[in-house]
């Protein structure tokens, strides 16, 4: 029963965070949100990556993080920077 309560709480937290991001995007306050810290589960869900992939990004120094009591936190702005730096547009050559 505790596991279910924990799962529901985590889901509620995730929905709250998504709502905040959506509202910030719509009101033009998104830059304030980008300095927000999110946990590893939120990163994995957002990027659709595994725990091992996230660990590799940390280990290689690709994704900066902060750790408190063996729980990792990441800045949204750091994740955006990584995505932007790896952005690739394939253009058709004529």
Neighbour tally for 94: CB within 10 Å: 3
Domain range summary for the chain, segments of one domain joined by +: 2-85
pLDDT in tens, 43-65: 999 999 999 999 999 999 999 99
Start-to-end CA span in the chain (Å) = 61
- Helical pair 40-47 and 51-59, crossing angle rounded to 10 deg: 110
Q: What is the mean pLDDT of the chain?
A: 84
pLDDT in tens, 71-80: 999 999 899 8
State how far the Cα of 67 lies from the Cα of 15, in Å rounded to an integer.
23
State how far the Cα of 13 lies from the Cα of 88, in Å rounded to an integer.
33
Global confidence as pTM: 0.61
């Amino acid at each position: 029963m505790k596991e279910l309560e924990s799962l529901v709480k985590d889901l509620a937290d995730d929905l709250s965070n998504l709502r905040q991001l959506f509202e910030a995007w719509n009101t033009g306050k998104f830059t304030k949100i980008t300095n927000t810290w999110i946990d590893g589960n939120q990163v994995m869900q957002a990027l659709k990556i595994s725990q091992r992939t996230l660990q590799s990004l940390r280990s290689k120094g690709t994704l900066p993080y902060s750790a408190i009591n063996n729980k990792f936190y990441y800045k949204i702005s750091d994740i955006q920077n990584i995505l932007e730096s790896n952005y690739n547009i394939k253009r058709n050559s004529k």
